[in-house]
Chain A
Amino acid sequence: QVQLVQSGAEVKKPGASVKVSCKASGYTFTRYDINWVRQATGQGLEWMGWMNPYSGNTGYAQKFQGRVTMTRSTSMSTAYMELSSLRSEDTAVYYCARGEASPDCSGGSCYFQDSWGQGTLVTVSS
């Protein structure tokens, strides 16, 4: 079965960077995108971007452009999300999720996330 297992909780100081990993199993890693989504305590889901593990191509939400980098290791079936210049507002649970779109879809994008990691709490505090 599809599994996405993320790295453990992190505590960082303002201005630092954090790198979260997401190890995929149960499917061919390079066939599906990896999305990153974050959720501050008591708040909703916020999409950060996507990465195609086959090509390495990425697309980031405008809010995170210049601060986020999504990479992968195909040999380890692992995706990474690095967020820099951390501030207290970045304190949140970060999720990776497998993204896909049906090849039969027509009339618009049918992109969605079908499996999620367990989440990684990143706390930014001085």
Chain B
Amino acid sequence: TQLLEQSPQFLSIQEGENLTVYCNSSSVFSSLQWYRQEPGEGPVLLVTVVTGGEVKKLKRLTFQFGDARKDSSLHITAAQPGDTGLYLCAGGYGGSNYKLTFGKGTLLTVNP
């Protein structure tokens, strides 16, 4: 089983602050995905990165895949209350039997 360590588990910040969430593993992944989940709903994909060193930006969110494809980070600039939610990283592996292994999630609360 591929393991993915996500940190921090909880994060409570004020509106306007910056934050970074980390996912780390000793395993190499073919892709790294970030999902966001609202209470009572299923996760929704934010981004997929597949190339070592790849950086993707989605408005105020910046995602980076590590050079060795073992780790990733999510950086949010000037957080807003609407960013509140559970953020999940997921590493893809398995070739034709493609599967995702998920981190345990980061519960972000942005206070106005």
Does chain A bind chain B?
no
